[in-house]
Amino acid sequence: MPAPPQQAAPPLLVVMGVSGSGKSTVGAALAQRLGVPFADADDLHPAANIAKMSAGQALTDEDRRPWLDTIGAWLAAHDERGGVMSCSALKRGYRDQLRRHAPRLQLLHLDGSPEVIQRRQASRPGHFMPASLLASQFATLEPLADDEHGVVLDVGLSVDAIVDQFVSQPVAPEENA
Ligand SMILES: Nc1ncnc2c1ncn2[C@@H]1O[C@H](COP(=O)(O)OP(=O)(O)OP(=O)(O)O)[C@@H](O)[C@H]1O
Ligand SMILES: O=C(O)[C@H](O)[C@@H](O)[C@H](O)[C@H](O)CO
C-alpha cells in the first residue's frame, strides 16, 4: 500500500527585527492568515526590562537571557500546533537559544532602513520604547546567516504584501519531514 501523503507541519515562526520594524503588526497578521496562535515577546519581558528600556537604557545579554528562555518555552509548547511569536531576536546567539527550545523554528526578519523605521516609531506615541534606543538596536542586530532557516523581507512593503510573500514561499523540504 502506498504511504499516505506527508502533512506539512504547521509553521512555527519568530518575526524578528529592531524595534518599530513591524514585528507585532506583521506577526499578528501572519498568525491570522496561517490560522495559528500569536504572541508578542514584548508582553513576556519582566517588568525590570520594560523599566530599563523606558528609561532609555539598552538591554544586555544578561537581561535578555531569561526572557529568551520564556519565549523558547512558548515556542516549544506550540511545536505541534504551530504559532507565531514577534521577538526582536537581534543576535545569532539569541536565535540559537530559541532553537535549543524549538529546533524547527523558522525566522522572518523584517529588514529596513533606520530612516523608515525611525519614522514608523515616531508615529506611534505612547510606546514604552524610546526612539533614542533605535541606534543601539541596529548596532546589536546580527542579520540571519546562511545556515539559519529564515527569510528576509523589506519593511517598505505593505503588511498585506509581506504576509502574501511569506505564505507564497516554496515549502522547504525539512518542513515536510
Ligand atoms: N509594513 C508596514 N507598513 C506600514 N506601516 C507599518 C508596517 N508595519 C508596521 N507598521 C506600523 O509601524 C509601527 C511599528 O510597528 P510595530 O509596533 O508592529 O513594530 P514592532 O517591531 O512590533 O515594534 P516594537 O518591537 O518596538 O513593539 C506601527 O505604527 C505599525 O502600524
Ligand atoms: O531585545 C530587545 O532589545 C527588546 O526586545 C526590544 O527590541 C523591544 O522589546 C521591542 O522591540 C519593543 O520596542
Domains within the chain, CATH numbers bracketed: 33-168 (3.40.50.300)
Spatial distance between the Cα atoms of 84 and 134, rounded to a whole number of angstroms: 24
Q: Is residue 107 packed enough to be buried (19+ CB in 10 Å), middle (13-18) or exposed (0-12)?
A: buried
Find out whether 109 and 150 touch, Cβ atoms under 8 Å.
yes
Residue 177 in this model has a pLDDT that exceeds 50? no
Residue whose Cα lies nearest atom 11 of ligand 2: it is 19
Residue located via cell numbers 513591524: 22
pTM recorded for the entire structure:
0.93
Ligand 2 pocket: which of 42, 61, 120 to mutate (most atoms within 8 A of CB): 42
Rounded to the nearest angstrom, the distance between the alpha carbon of 123 and the centre of ligand 1 is: 9
3-state secondary structure the chain: CCCCCCCCCCCEEEEECCCCCCHHHHHHHHHHHHCCCEEEHHHHCCHHHHHHHHCCCCCCHHHHHHHHHHHHHHHHHCCCCCEEEECCCCCHHHHHHHHHHCCCCEEEEEECCHHHHHHHHHCCCCCCCCHHHHHHHHHHCCCCCCCCCEEEEECCCCHHHHHHHHHCCCCCHHHHC
C-alpha cell at 126: 505612547
Model confidence at 151, pLDDT cuts 50, 70, 90, reads: very high
Q: Which amino acid is at 35?
A: G
Kindly give the number of the ligand 1 atom that is closest to the alpha carbon of 110: 21
**Average pLDDT score over residue span 159-170:** 93
Contact yes or no for 163/30 (Cβ under 8 A): yes
Q: Above 50 in pLDDT, residue 36?
A: yes
Arithmetic mean of pLDDT, 26-41: 98
pLDDT at site 68:
98
Residue 128 carries which side chain, given as an amino acid letter? F
Ligand 2, pocket-test mutation among 87, 97, 137, 155, most atoms within 8 A of CB: 137
Residue 23 CB less than 6 A away from ligand 1: yes
Q: What is the pLDDT of residue 123?
A: 84
| 65 alpha carbon, closest ligand | 2
Q: Which residues pair with 40 in a beta bridge?
A: 86
Comparing 33-42, 103-112, 122-131, the range with the smallest average pLDDT is 122-131
